[in-house]
Amino acid sequence: MYLVKHNSTYKGVSCKRYETDKLQKMNVKEAYKNWSEQYDTNINKTRDLEASSLRDMLSEIKFENCLEIGCGTGKNTEWLVTRGKNIVAVDISDEMLSIAKQKITENNVSFIKADVTENWSFTSETFDLAVCSLVLEHIEDIQNIIKQIAAHLKVSGVLYIGELHPFKQYTGSKAKFKNEAGEHIVTAFTHHITEFTEAAKAHGLKIEEIKEYFDENDRSKPPRILTLKFIKEASS
């Protein structure tokens, strides 16, 4: 297993891109099963910056019912439960959910195992807020996910999306982890900003805000996190 390095530039800044063909690639479910034990404790700038980005973007949002897609080990759930009356937290990984349940025992949260790329039989509720954190990069076709979220949002409800910025992906950054078996790359896809905005528009969601977040707020380098906030419009 090895890496082949390529050099490129972004706004005059040298970037390193690595060929990942020799790394061990894992599908999403298997990857997070193996990553779960160390997910909360290893160094992970993307995880940490996205968590603070969500809190920044949603600090003024009032909500009662929240749908959290990709709750993982509960890094954002533990904040959402302090703000809303009912949190439905969904993830594909039993192992990640198990850790979240140990950490978060409030009675206003329901943890559900579900694959959001399949039938949405896991909930019939409608929500004031839906959040997707570091999820859509693992889904090739985001159209149906956005459609399903929009269908479960109330009019004037908010959709928050927080993802690894495509600019960061261009430089070779990917969701990955190491264990005793080696280094593993999680299956991921690059989605351009217009993919998010056009999918949202197609399903009645109006863009409200786009923000970029940088490591140590250093704007001379590519941003790490992209966040988007949409509002569901009334049907005409």
- Report which of residues 207 and 44 the model is more confident about: 207
Tokens of 188: 């991921």
What is the phi/psi pair of residue 212, to 5°?
A: -120, 140
pTM: 0.84
Helical ranges in 58-192 per DSSP H: 77-80, 94-103, 143-151, 166-170
Helix orientation angle between 193-202 and 143-151, rounded to the nearest 10 degrees: 40
Q: What was the pLDDT predicted at 20?
A: 41
Its CATH architecture, for the domain 27-173+187-232, is 3-Layer(aba) Sandwich (3.40)
Using 50, 70 and 90 to split pLDDT, how confident is the model at 186? confident
Ranges of each domain in the chain: 27-173+187-232
pLDDT tens track for 19-45: 444 556 655 666 655 555 766 677 789
Indicate the residue type of 184.
H
* DSSP codes joined into one string, 21-84: TTSEEE-HHHHHHHHHHHHTTS--HHHHHHHHHHHHHTTT---SEEEEES-TTTTTHHHHTTT-
